[in-house]
Structure 1
Amino acid sequence: MGWMANETGLDKCAANHVPLSPLSFLRRAAEVFADHEAVVYGPHRKTYTEYADRVTRLASALSALGVRPGDVVATMLPNIPAQAEAHFGVPACGAVLNTINTRLEADTVAYILDHGGAKVLLVDPQFLPVAAEAFERMEGPAPAVIEVPDDFAGVHATGHYDEYEHLLAAADPGFDWIMPEDEWESIALNYTSGTTGRPKGVVYHHRGAYLNAMGQVISWRMVLYPRYLTIVPLFHCNGWCHTWMMPVVGGTVVCCRDITAPAIFDAIADEKVTHFGGAPIVLNTLINAPAEQRRDFNHVVEVFTAGAPPAPATLSAIEPMGFNVTHVYGLTETYGPGTENTWQPKWDGLKGEARAARKARQGVAMPIFEEVTVLDTDTMHPTPRDGQALGEIMFRGNGVMKGYLKNPKATAEAFAGGYYHSGDIAVQHPDGYVQIADRAKDIIISGGENISSVEVEGVLMGHPDVMLCAVVAKPDDKWGEVPCAFVELKDGHTADEATLIAYARERLAGFKTPKHVVFQELPKTSTGKIQKFELRQSLQKA
């Protein structure tokens, strides 16, 4: 189908077919944007020529250590220049990059190193104690260690391992990058959070990394020379592919080791940051920052937010501060963002809560996906586009992972019926825009009624005393389970349980109103997601 009657001589060849890889972006940028700033971190300021040279040297150093195409190279690094360089240097020697969450405990790190089979580990001295303990717990051989000190942050080398800068200095600047022969070759290995058992190893291919990075340039409406602040950890979905994306448009990666309100405001004011991504908790951090932590700036900062549906109250508060927020949604299995809440001109007149509520939707498929839809999980039929019928968000296209490493059963389950099953429960509006109701495991069923924890959270986040909240199911003898709200108050604010329950009852159906409110600091992942499983466990023990 689709072939002409006679295509003699119309074959793929070196001139007309090259496997897609984000390595091509940096190779081009080193020519086109040679003298433009590529990576900034305090006194570390490298042009694209220098960036490409350091990447080449890293690839050479890894090859000299015995890393071969298809091997895994792991990192335990914060958002510092070496982590950005690894995104190109590791695949440039033909290897697969495994960025490990720096907040994991030693047992899980040991499992990841064993399961992925890392040959080399690049590690910040801050995380060496955890890495050393992980090595003792490993069943297989421990990886070779390259220590990456961060003198700018006062994190100095221990002297026990080879140092990153020494290896780069001794490496071959003429090393020939090993480009993929097939774009289906693996480029990265990322592990899921593993909140209900061992984490799964999500495998990315060069084609998906290339297309996801390129597609987000369009979705984020980027022009040349953006300045991107690394708030999304580069160990999380490879920083949503944004490090791979920056060379496409000659962008500057502004590294941020510690995510605080002063660090973000300083970067915007001093480094003229134009873009960043982050969970809604980051937006709340900025909204609630005291005056002495803020800085003035005179440009609009474009923000991709994801990780949890942002409360309308959060969106209403952040935009007048100089931030234009686009809500995106995705998973590790989709290389990060897979949908975008594409703004329609016909909505320009919306104000206040109506505007914020429209912006809180997860939206439509990003350009590189064939389809993002809501289907009935059992029948695989589309749910009615009425904004009410619940189904599961499913993805199909080149932005979906290869599968789970060494886990064909889980891969087959995830891809059943020709779609990737997200596990997120949602409705689809008449205009096709998707809106999450909840994770499948987070739906609260009280007396036979389905309650969206996201809906209840959105209401409570509108209360002026509430900074963060999470709603989970609490076992109940009469109703089976009822909503319980865990609330983190703003500094200096003193709302009580009765006040918040009354506030919710004015805005929600009675059965959706929380029956209990617990005030505490909420447990969070390194990417700012609230760990609801810990809250559920605390209620089971109560």
Structure 2
Amino acid sequence: MRRPLTPLDLARRAFKLFAARPAVEQGSERFSYAEFGARTFRLVRALAARRIGRGDHVALLAFNTHEALLAYHAVPWSGATLVPLNPRLSEEEYAFFLAHCEAELLIVDAALLPKVADVRVSKWVIGEEFEARLADQSPASLSLPVDLDEDDVITVNYTSGTTSDPKGVMLTHRNVYLHALGLMYHLDLRPTSVYLHTLPMSHANGWGGVWAVTGAGATHVTTSETATEIVVRDVERHAVTHLSASPTVLRTLADPVTARRAPRPITVTLAGSPPHARFLADLMDLGYRPLHAYGLTETSPLVTFSDDTPDVRDHSVQERAETFARQGFESVTAGEVSVLDERGLPVPNDGETLGEVVVRGPTVMKGYFKNDAATRRALRGGWFHTGDIAVLHPDGRLQVRDRVSDIIVTGGERLSSVEVEGVLYLHPSVREAVVVGAPHATLGEAPIAFVSLHAGSNVEARDLVSFASSHLAAFKVPHDVRLLSDLPKNPNGKFLKHVLRAQARTVAG
């Protein structure tokens, strides 16, 4: 019997099987799965009363709150497509994205309403108005939509802020259902698990956590604040067992000034900017279990995990950390992940030969919304082309070296900025490090490092150049190191290399 693959089935099962268990905790608020299910069905009916259904787009502009989590369950159940928007964008960007996605309705946090006040779209404001709409509807359970197709688009997630080439990633019910199963397996999510949403839900649907946690019958801990002290507080207050974020966001957990031992074993999933071995070792020494993953929004998103396999389990913390700094192996539901050279052939497992990471499998997006040209470029040749450059090690583990655009060509040699950054992170005074290419009269490009230091460090730039020289071939050593109090990052915690590259060009000029 054919039945659509959808994360709504995971929710349906959780509402029934885990009815009395805690579904969502936020501050002092608590909802059981029965209560969360009832709120989901109330919102589905409220959307239907507004004539929202299949083919419609409902935008969401909110922090990581229980109301936002509710929208991830109820909007797809109504048959509509959810369009999550990053709460840290500009008014101009919101106006563009809401027009581009053809939103019928915007569910918006009251604190963010001023940013979209002038946008002509119907708005439901989270707060008393929103709760009144729910209260007007029945909490009785609903069946899944009879016309639901697993290839229907469940979310449109924008990854580009440019109006000239908008990339709204269309993920299907099938995509995110299979991704959720993979996440449940690799994170070992159980009904007793407690998952803290430190990663913005608007970022690739919280890396799929919005549905995987529900599927496991585990507890969501939502919060509108992600400052380090808030994360530490919630980890202790809610007995958190799992959280996910980029290394730049989590780095303060291992910072010598702020580091605290984990109160219990906590699985920390990291993706985005590649974490370096020293950082992973520091987390492990503090009692965390780092799980390094890799993926893009276009792949739902996570397609590889650096699992704690038997071949490394008995190694030292430092040796295991060096292994876990690689992106690892294919997820059980990702399909095929490969690294191809410029001829389209697989690179050897030598840890040296560079190629592009490509993916083909059931979690790859349907395409970009209203951008056929970008879709064709990304899905050419039967693969999704990530634009990430990587090597394969003899043990089969994948390791991303750089973005195609971030490779530095110096004196004819191709240089990975990630490799140089990894060496800089070995220095105990380095808190953050980014390496970019700057114009050079004879070499074409030269590596320049931007570094921030741990509080109380008095290391000078020339000390770091000397340190790098003792670990790297001469052509890889940064020609200059610039010390900054903090490095620029985007709202999701990724380093803004284009900003630093512009600074490097200005200095070089």
The TM-score, its normalising length taken from structure 2, stands at: 0.96
Paired residue type of 1:206: H
The aligned residue for residue 166 of structure 2 is 199
Paired residue type of 1:42: G
Structure 2 CA distance, aligned partners of 1:236 and 1:500?
34
The aligned residue for residue 335 of structure 1 is 300
Paired residue type of 1:40: E
Q: 2:274 aligns with which of 309, 318, 328?
A: 309
The aligned residue for residue 537 of structure 1 is 502
% identical equivalent positions? 39
Paired residue type of 2:135: A
SS in 2 for 1:385: coil
Aligned-pair CA distance for 1:289: 6.5
Query: Which deviates further from its counterpart, 467-476 or 221-230?
Result: 221-230
Q: 1:52 aligns with which of 37, 45, 52?
A: 37
The aligned residue for residue 320 of structure 1 is 285
The aligned residue for residue 104 of structure 1 is 89
Is it true that 1:361 corresponds to 2:321 in the alignment?
Answer: no
Aligned-pair CA distance for 1:123: 1.2
Structure 1's 457 and 199: CA in aligned 2 closer, same or farther, altered over 3 A?
farther
8 Å Cα contact 2:4/2:149 also seen in 1: yes
The aligned residue for residue 153 of structure 1 is none
SS in 2 for 1:347: coil
The aligned residue for residue 189 of structure 2 is 222
SS in 1 for 2:235: helix
Aligned-pair CA distance for 1:461: 1.4
Q: 1:411 aligns with which of 356, 375, 393?
A: 375
Q: Deviations over 1:223-262 (max 9, x none)?
A: 3321000011100010111110112221000012221222
Q: Deviations over 1:326-356 (max 9, x none)?
A: 1100001011211111222121232243221
Is it true that 1:511 corresponds to 2:483 in the alignment?
Answer: no
Structure 1 CA distance, aligned partners of 2:435 and 2:19?
50
Aligned-pair CA distance for 1:21: 0.8
Q: 2:134 aligns with which of 147, 164, 168?
A: 168
The aligned residue for residue 144 of structure 1 is 122
The aligned residue for residue 250 of structure 1 is 217
Structure 2 CA distance, aligned partners of 1:458 and 1:197?
35
The aligned residue for residue 198 of structure 2 is 231
Structure 1 CA distance, aligned partners of 2:111 and 2:421?
35
Paired residue type of 1:144: S
Aligned-pair CA distance for 1:379: 2.1
SS in 1 for 2:104: strand
SS in 2 for 1:147: strand
Count of aligned pairs between the two proteins: 505
Aligned-pair CA distance for 1:197: 5.4
Q: Deviations over 1:34-93 (max 9, x none)?
A: 010000001210000010111111111122223121111111111000111011110011
The aligned residue for residue 522 of structure 1 is 487
Query: Which deviates further from its counterpart, 276-285 or 387-396?
Result: 276-285
Is it true that 1:348 corresponds to 2:333 in the alignment?
Answer: no
Structure 2 CA distance, aligned partners of 1:322 and 1:536?
36
SS in 2 for 1:379: coil
8 Å Cα contact 1:74/1:97 also seen in 2: yes
Q: 2:393 aligns with which of 413, 419, 429?
A: 429
Q: 1:268 aligns with which of 219, 235, 247?
A: 235
Structure 1 CA distance, aligned partners of 2:295 and 2:395?
20
The aligned residue for residue 63 of structure 1 is 48
Structure 1's 198 and 108: CA in aligned 2 closer, same or farther, altered over 3 A?
farther
Aligned-pair CA distance for 1:538: 2.3
Aligned-pair CA distance for 1:402: 0.5
Structure 1 CA distance, aligned partners of 2:262 and 2:271?
24
Q: 2:434 aligns with which of 450, 470, 474?
A: 470
Query: Which deviates further from its counterpart, 215-224 or 187-196?
Result: 187-196
Structure 2 CA distance, aligned partners of 1:177 and 1:59?
11
Structure 1's 297 and 514: CA in aligned 2 closer, same or farther, altered over 3 A?
closer
SS in 1 for 2:321: helix
Structure 1 ranges of 4+ moved more than 6 A:
none
Q: 1:444 aligns with which of 396, 408, 418?
A: 408
SS in 1 for 2:205: helix
Paired residue type of 1:205: T
Structure 2 CA distance, aligned partners of 1:196 and 1:434?
34
Aligned-pair CA distance for 1:195: 6.9
8 Å Cα contact 1:283/1:314 also seen in 2: no
Structure 2 CA distance, aligned partners of 1:534 and 1:297?
35
The aligned residue for residue 16 of structure 2 is 31
SS in 1 for 2:83: strand
Aligned-pair CA distance for 1:517: 1.4
Structure 2 CA distance, aligned partners of 1:353 and 1:169?
54
Structure 1 CA distance, aligned partners of 2:304 and 2:219?
24
Aligned-pair CA distance for 1:539: 2.6
8 Å Cα contact 2:62/2:87 also seen in 1: yes
Aligned-pair CA distance for 1:196: 9.9
Structure 1's 196 and 307: CA in aligned 2 closer, same or farther, altered over 3 A?
farther
The aligned residue for residue 95 of structure 1 is 80
Q: Deviations over 1:247-304 (max 9, x none)?
A: 222100001222122222222222110001111113311112745x85x654200111
Structure 1 gaps, min length 5 = 1-15, 136-141, 150-156, 158-162
The aligned residue for residue 57 of structure 2 is 72
The TM-score, its normalising length taken from structure 1, stands at: 0.90
SS in 1 for 2:155: strand
The aligned residue for residue 454 of structure 1 is 418
Aligned-pair CA distance for 1:322: 1.4
8 Å Cα contact 1:374/1:392 also seen in 2: yes
